[in-house]
Amino acid sequence: MRLLHTMLRVGELQRSIDFYTNILGMKLLRKKDYPDGKFTLAFVGYGDESDNSVIELTHNWDTKKYDVGTGFGHLAIEVKDVYQATNKIQQQGGKIIREAGPMNAGNTIIAFVEDPDGYQIELLGPK
């Protein structure tokens, strides 16, 4: 068994694709409209779906905004240098919600970014 993808519902699909590809450096792997269901699926990730877990962005055409909810925590992405990654994300217009620095109960360097729909993404250095 392996983890295939995580699905996030998004209000504006192109805005989300731009964030994940232009700001976080993922690739748009595939995108398909489903007119009968009135939704579009776009899959983004750092590598081919055959070898990597990816994110499924689901856009329901009649919904412009979602509440993130209290059950969802965050996605986590490993980066080479958390400080450098947050600087680059800020320069590209990304929203940093926790600056890079040691976590409160240890010395692991982390940061948090928020995507256009309010989903939190943790940035972690290599272990």
Residue 18 contacts residue 122 (beta carbons within 8 Å): no
**Domains located in the chain, CATH noted:** 5-60 (3.10.180.10), 75-124 (3.10.180.10)
The two three-digit tokens of residue 115, written as one number: 């995507």
Exactly one of 12, 56, 114, 122 is catalytic; name it.
122
pLDDT, the chain, mean? 95
- Strand 39-45, strand 54-60: pairing: antiparallel
Confidence grade of residue 127 (pLDDT, cut at 50, 70, 90) = confident
pLDDT tens, position by position, 8-28: 999 999 999 999 999 999 999
47 vs 69: CA distance, rounded Å? 29
Q: How many CB atoms lie within 10 A of CB 44?
A: 22
Does 114 qualify as catalytic in the annotation?
no
pTM above 0.85, yes or no: yes
